[in-house]
Structure 1
Amino acid sequence: MIKFNLFRLSPVLIVAFLAGCSAPNSTGGINDPYEETNRSWHDTNVALDRAVIKPVSTAYGTVVPDPLRKGLANVSDTLSIPGTVVNDVLQVQLGDAVHNTARFLVNATVGIAGLFDPATSMGLEPRDSDFGETLHRWGVGEGAYVVLPVYGPSTERDALGLVVDIALDPIGHVFGTPESSYKTGLKVAKLADTRYRYSDLYESLVYDSADGYAQMRLTYLDNRHYALGTPIGASDSAEGQATPYDIYEDFYE
């Protein structure tokens, strides 16, 4: 398994990348200067979904009982909490850091290594965060919309955040090989379960739309802006103006 070390990333490349992300969105609200390349990767990802991801997720959802799939997804979520706490601290959201630490301790113990989620019923609901949000709170613009191979829709800021989250992941540093690879396996299992549970929604969005690429782009950006409190088409500084509900929450959670 490839491990990323944040401190080995070239400072010059990071500064250049952040400078690009700081550029304001283009007129019209959607900054997509790489559309031709993005569409190519979108088509490749859809072909991969048809050929591999959908059959695997269908088999997983059919063979593995629902309680076990849900339990494995809970374990994956629990193992991701320490990384969330790191971002809470970097954002100086100390209340969320304490909340998420308590959630981790409860689910890791009472929840039997995270198989169950008693923390939510105790008022310790999930409060997710990532380094993309950390960059947003630090004033870094989201940059252009990009489609990543396999991973799918993102932005320049969130793509960098994804790499840094991998580098900063406490679980990955605490456990060596092969233990650290178990987390990756659990994450894949959760994604397969999500793909199976929301198969109709995903396929209506990507397969049945007149322009699946444009629909996926709008869906991702709308959901991301909702999570950050910035409605689509607005600058990142426009806090607290998101729509009152998130119609894509189930699909992207």
Structure 2
Amino acid sequence: MKLRTLLSLCAGASLSMLTACASTQPAQDMSDYDPIEPVNRIVHGVNGAVDFMILYPAAMWYRDIAPEEVKTAVSSFVRNIGEPINALNSLFQGEPEQAAASAQRFIMNSTIGFLGFNDVAADFGIPYHSEDFGQTLGHYGFGGGPYIVLPLLGPSNLRDSAGIAADYVMNPLTWAGKNSDTVDNLYLGSLGVTALDARYRALNQLNELEQTSIDYYAALRSLYRQQRNAVIRNGAAPTAPDVEDESASFDFDDAVEAAAE
């Protein structure tokens, strides 16, 4: 079965399960609800081994060897690849102006910005804004559901796992590469660059968390919950104490202290 077909099926199945969870407890914070923790810990361990052997050394090499200009260009390219998804999800959330800005950024940076390696849109006063389908579901009140550790992708929950699959299926770049081996290879290559850039940017944060945590798995779970709640609120304060976004805005030091306890 091809990867595209598999992800499409996963998206449908995950969204169906998410709807069932939302119908019973639509607004409660279940991000720390971990009913399959033994399995999650095994996947977490496998992910850690892959990270130790591949991603971490690559990120360290990238940090020490690559010039700052290259790092900036790669980060800009990675952000540009996600602009179509940012635009679609902004539109789904009822933010047409933000959707138009993301679309405009993609067009400008993909052309005069040389495939996004230069963020010329920012120079014209169009700031970057990230949105994904997990955030869209959270925007409409869907709770996170059970915590899940995805192979290679890491911490997630039922809602955000559905969001990852849905974003993949919705991404115009996914379907642009379906009938073109060249575009498909470029897109797959961009996923590798995205993973490298993400691991590089998380180096200090994850190193500190691992070194100061009694239980790194639990600390990472708490960190993920806080980060996702913060991005779903888009920086706004929680509106009520019993909704999923009840956590205070993300604070790394608080996450470390909570893990240590």
Q: Structure 2: 5+ residue runs without aligned partners?
A: 253-261
Shift of 1:26: 7.2
Compared CA separation, residues 217 and 89, structure 1 to 2 (3 A): same
Structure 2 residue identity aligned to 1:2: L
Out of 56, 59, 68, the residue aligned to residue 70 of structure 2 is 68
Shift of 1:127: 1.4
Shift of 1:5: 7.6
Distance 1:170 1:10 in 2: 16
Structure 2 residue 206 is matched with structure 1 residue 202: yes
Compared CA separation, residues 119 and 33, structure 1 to 2 (3 A): same
Deviations 1:191-219 (A, max 9, x none): 32342344232122135421101110111
Compared CA separation, residues 106 and 187, structure 1 to 2 (3 A): same
Compared CA separation, residues 40 and 129, structure 1 to 2 (3 A): same
CA contact (8 A) 2:29 2:143 kept: no
Question: What SS does the corresponding residue of 1:3 show, helix, strand or coil?
Answer: helix
Shift of 1:120: 2.0
* Greater Cα shift, 56-65 or 209-218: 56-65
Question: What SS does the corresponding residue of 1:196 show, helix, strand or coil?
Answer: helix
Equivalent residue number for residue 128 of structure 1: 130
Question: What SS does the corresponding residue of 1:226 show, helix, strand or coil?
Answer: helix
Deviations 1:153-172 (A, max 9, x none): 00100001101111110112
Structure 2 residue identity aligned to 1:201: Q
Distance 2:226 2:218 in 1: 12
CA contact (8 A) 1:21 1:157 kept: no
Equivalent residue number for residue 215 of structure 2: 211
Out of 222, 229, 236, the residue aligned to residue 225 of structure 1 is 229
Compared CA separation, residues 213 and 104, structure 1 to 2 (3 A): same
* Greater Cα shift, 17-26 or 105-114: 17-26
Equivalent residue number for residue 16 of structure 1: 17
Q: Structure 1: 5+ residue runs without aligned partners?
A: 249-253
Compared CA separation, residues 217 and 211, structure 1 to 2 (3 A): same
Equivalent residue number for residue 256 of structure 2: none
- TM-score relative to the length of structure 1: 0.82
Deviations 1:137-157 (A, max 9, x none): 333221111111111100100
CA contact (8 A) 1:23 1:141 kept: no
Compared CA separation, residues 19 and 142, structure 1 to 2 (3 A): same
CA contact (8 A) 1:18 1:157 kept: no
Shift of 1:132: 0.8
- TM-score relative to the length of structure 2: 0.80
Structure 2 residue identity aligned to 1:93: E
Distance 1:193 1:242 in 2: 28
Distance 2:241 2:50 in 1: 31
Question: What SS does the corresponding residue of 1:41 show, helix, strand or coil?
Answer: helix
Which is richer in helix? 2
Deviations 1:85-114 (A, max 9, x none): 122222222111111112222222332221
CA contact (8 A) 2:22 2:142 kept: yes
Distance 2:11 2:123 in 1: 44
For residues 94-173 of structure 1, the aligned pairs below 5 Å read: 94-173=96-175
RMSD: 3.0
Q: Percent identity?
A: 25
CA contact (8 A) 2:10 2:162 kept: no
Out of 159, 179, 183, the residue aligned to residue 179 of structure 1 is 183
Compared CA separation, residues 28 and 4, structure 1 to 2 (3 A): closer
Distance 2:143 2:186 in 1: 34
CA contact (8 A) 1:41 1:147 kept: yes
Shift of 1:222: 0.2
Compared CA separation, residues 206 and 178, structure 1 to 2 (3 A): farther
